[in-house]
Structure 1
Amino acid sequence: MDIRNLEGSIVALITPFHEDGSVDFDALGRLIDFQLAAGTDALLPLGTTGESSTMTHEEDEAVASFVVERVAGRVPVITGSGSNDTRTMLEKSLAYQRLGVDGLLLITPYYNKANEEGVYRHFATVLDAVDIPCILYNVPGRTGCSISVANVERLSRHDNVLGIKEASGSISYATDIAHLIGPTFKMFSGNDDMVVPLMSLGASGVISVWANVQPALVREMTHAYLAGDVERARRIQLSGLPLVRALFSEVNPIPVKEACALMGLCEPNFRLPLCRMGAAAREGLIASMKGAGLVD
């Protein structure tokens, strides 16, 4: 499936686990069906929200294969293949391409960070090897490093770059790279509280944690903006802020998986070092979900 014109709401899908820590594929199927029924524009498993950092390569491939088969071409599947080891990211990217994913999400080399040229080569190694579009992932709060504006400009010229997931939380940074947005380079907000602001700079939509629990609403917000109804998009963005803040009251994806469990979509099981959220934060999450009409 050609995703060069992708826009709207892309869900950063959680990975449900059984109590013993194994992947709960029955729940994963329910989550996928929930997203498809709500009209989500694309699914993105195995990202930060998918807890892929605690999963084995075999589990990653099993999840990617399951999502591709369950979706069956109805919407694009973009799979997170990132690693701080470039060789591992390359191997995972090629494996997912063979499984039939429509695109890849590539993260900066966290922990070891790398210098300017190393960061460029980290991405270019994969971009030169694959045949499907890739989204760069800038999330310095997670990785400890950012993709420099100069490297974004350099990488944006590669034929296999679709765009960037911009999750720095910095309007200044987003503004600095917004001039690159055009027919061959897209921006997607990586922050649920900044979707409309980034769309005002030219972003095509969002890769969203929030969409795990309110997929139809997040899609409505992005498509309202794309259709020119900025006021409708603005109202949804502002009205959703209490829930969005609750979904990030502890480190992602702890609150959003708790929220999905409260909605009966999965069990609230994690792999260490992630664990159940604290009582006070959970009460706040429940209150916000009640306010959004998600639970009684």
Structure 2
Amino acid sequence: MKGIYTALLTPMDERGEIDFESLGALIRHQLAHGVQGFYAGGSTGEAFLLTAKERMELLEAVIGYTAGKAKVIAHTGGIGTRESVELARHAEKAGADAVSAVVPFYYKPGIQEIRDHYRSIMSAVSVPMIVYHYPGATGVSLTMDFYESMAADPQCMGVKFTSMNLFEMQQIRARCGPGFLIMNGHDEVYAAGALMGADGAIGSTFNMMPSLFTDMFARAESGRWDALPELQTQANEVIGHMLQFDVIPYEKYVLYLQGVLRTPTVRSPLKRFTGEEEARIESFYSGNPLLVRHASQPAAGQIGGTGA
């Protein structure tokens, strides 16, 4: 399961309901640009703003639209073990290739409780588990002993490592061995993550510029490291601009400009851009060849577009 996996956005219509038509368009767009798989219902997908029923419907749609052309990792994590188990059972039944779960947060469980949480999920299904480590969002740090104990379980395939601490990533590789999958999670350091031993990446900005990262992965796999800094610089020009705004609304707005999504709607309480903010994003977009190159066709009324 190495490779570039897009952490899929969840398209929404003007009412804030899941837009399944745009979801299909997004998946086809990603497949056309060569991604190896999808991470469905994660942080980028506004998972914690969806009901459990919506998360299940979303996953079923992703698997249906993918039609076996790429791997699907289902994010089934939540604060509580019971809901995570329920979502994991559904994911296996729906045909997901693996499940993943963010470290349980808010109530600050200890390492043993976190380990028990994952083992409860794994015992409920037969598909592989990928731990989702995102301390910037959860506030939870994991120990090397935790990783070693999880790697000792053959059902635990690896970790989605969303942290800037690449020394820690390298230590996981050293302690858990080459068979433990490490997926880079911060897109802005993917080139460095690949050098430190990542087997691929699960990324949010891949929604906007997938072929750049599939190119980076191919070059890393073949040892052509000299090209990666320039490609990472191109990605980081976009990411640097995005970080002046809010990530999920920004990515949806760019995909709207690219003609992939019908609306850039996000679910409350995520930010809605002002007209001035939209104009700034449109100006950057129109002057960025990387983003324009990924366009399906411009959205109606945007950048001289004729409709999508």
TM-score, structure 1 length as denominator?
Answer: 0.93
SS at match of 2:101: strand
1:115-194 mapped onto 2 (5 Å cutoff):
115-180=110-175, 182-194=177-189
Deviation sequence 1:160-218 (CA, Å, 0-9, x none): 11111111211232233121454431111100011111111111111011210111111
Q: Please tell me the residue identity of whatever aligns with 1:175.
A: Q
Aligned 8 A contact 2:148 2:176 in 1: no
1:3-152 mapped onto 2 (5 Å cutoff):
6-152=1-147
SS at match of 1:206: strand
Q: Please tell me the residue identity of whatever aligns with 2:45.
A: G
The CA distance in 1 between the partners of 2:239 and 2:275, in whole Å, is 18
Equivalent position to 2:257, from 259, 262, 274:
262
How big is the alpha-carbon RMSD for the aligned residues of Structure 1 and Structure 2? 1.7
Q: Cα distance, 1:239 vs. partner?
A: 2.1
Residues 228 and 288 (structure 1), Cα distance of their counterparts in 2 relative to 1, 3 Å cut: farther
Name the % identity. Answer: 27
Q: Please tell me the residue identity of whatever aligns with 2:14.
A: E
- In structure 2, stretches of 5+ residues that fail to align are 293-302, 304-308
The CA distance in 2 between the partners of 1:56 and 1:230, in whole Å, is 43
Aligned 8 A contact 1:181 1:187 in 2: no
Deviation sequence 1:122-147 (CA, Å, 0-9, x none): 11111222111121111111111122
Q: Cα distance, 1:152 vs. partner?
A: 1.3
Is it true that 1:274 corresponds to 2:277 in the alignment? no
More displaced stretch, 238-247 vs 188-197: 238-247
Q: Cα distance, 1:283 vs. partner?
A: 5.0
The CA distance in 2 between the partners of 1:161 and 1:287, in whole Å, is 45
The CA distance in 2 between the partners of 1:280 and 1:112, in whole Å, is 39
Q: Cα distance, 1:278 vs. partner?
A: 5.2
Q: Please tell me the residue identity of whatever aligns with 1:20.
A: R
More displaced stretch, 268-277 vs 100-109: 268-277
Equivalent position to 1:292, from 277, 289, 292:
289
Aligned 8 A contact 1:243 1:292 in 2: no
TM-score, structure 2 length as denominator?
Answer: 0.89
The answer for the alignment partner of 2:206 in structure 1 is: 211
The CA distance in 2 between the partners of 1:283 and 1:194, in whole Å, is 28
Q: Please tell me the residue identity of whatever aligns with 2:289.
A: A
Residues 101 and 286 (structure 1), Cα distance of their counterparts in 2 relative to 1, 3 Å cut: same
Aligned 8 A contact 1:32 1:71 in 2: yes
Residues 85 and 193 (structure 1), Cα distance of their counterparts in 2 relative to 1, 3 Å cut: same
The CA distance in 2 between the partners of 1:246 and 1:83, in whole Å, is 30
- In structure 1, stretches of 5+ residues that fail to align are 1-5
More displaced stretch, 52-61 vs 141-150: 141-150
